[in-house]
Structure 1
Amino acid sequence: MNQTYEERIREQALAICEALYNKKALDIVALNVADKTIIADWFVVCSGRVSAQVKALCDEVEKKAPEIGLAELRREGYSQGRWIVIDYGAILVHIFHPEERAYYNMERLWLDDPRHFVDFSKQKGDK
């Protein structure tokens, strides 16, 4: 059975969430923003405890992406390790240091419809 585009992108976004979870990322969420913006279909957002972990999470996503059919188009913020954005076209991955995550609070911009929100950490049983 062939997957639809939407199913494939959702599966890839959740595979990124799984890789982040396995590297101990905090507060992992996947946001379906396809009907809200033209820049991406999904945002994956998470936090690392410190800048070194933020970078390690980025490294893990970059390792996983080719395995699930994603090609990196651009990456920003790696050298500072405070807010890294990785662009895979249909999926944007945002990896935050906790202070930046609290300040920018990206989820509040996109949470008006819970059908578009997957709290990956809670799906895995984290508190």
Structure 2
Amino acid sequence: MTAYETAVGAAKAIDGKKGLNIQVIEIGDVSVIADYMVIATGNSSTHVKALADEVEYQLDKAGVSVSHIEGYRSNSWILLDYIDVLVNVFSEEAREFYDLDRLWQDGKPVDLTDIITD
């Protein structure tokens, strides 16, 4: 899978579990840490964990294994590192506090109109 397909697959997995405010940002031109950043919100700590679990499950089924996971015990911000794609699943409060949408505003937003139902 390409980095784009991985990012879109993560967005679809999150959407399938009713994740909120899903954003995919192409950051390869502004950073060396990854090609894409996926940002989404869950409506509770249980939902945040369920969203992260679903991303890991769906991408694993597609043959893409997560390299590293951070924050799984906190359930307010879980980061799944797929090397070229970083998936961030936040609680509403954590997303507002860390404001990754603003931090990565120089990246190029991916149009998800025909990809997710959000």
TM-score by length of 2: 0.90
Task: Report the alpha carbon displacement of residue 67 of structure 1 after superposing the two structures with TM.
Answer: 2.3
Bigger Rg, which one: 1
TM-score by length of 1: 0.84
Q: Which structure features the higher share of helix residues?
A: 1
Task: Report the alpha carbon displacement of residue 93 of structure 1 after superposing the two structures with TM.
Answer: 0.4
Q: Of the two structures, which has the highest relative contact order with CA contacts closer than 8 Å and spacing of 6 or more?
A: 2
Cross-structure match for 1:16: 10
Cross-structure match for 1:117: 109
Q: Report the residue type matching 1:85 in the other structure.
A: L
Question: Could you tell me how far apart the structure 2 residues matched to 1:64 and 1:125 are?
Answer: 17
Runs of 4+ in 1 over 3 A off after TM superposition: 122-126
Task: Report the alpha carbon displacement of residue 36 of structure 1 after superposing the two structures with TM.
Answer: 1.2
Flag structure 2 segments of 5+ consecutive residues without an equivalent. Answer: none
Q: Secondary structure at the match of 1:63?
A: helix
Cross-structure match for 1:39: 33
Q: What percent of counterpart residues are identical?
A: 37
Task: Report the alpha carbon displacement of residue 109 of structure 1 after superposing the two structures with TM.
Answer: 1.6
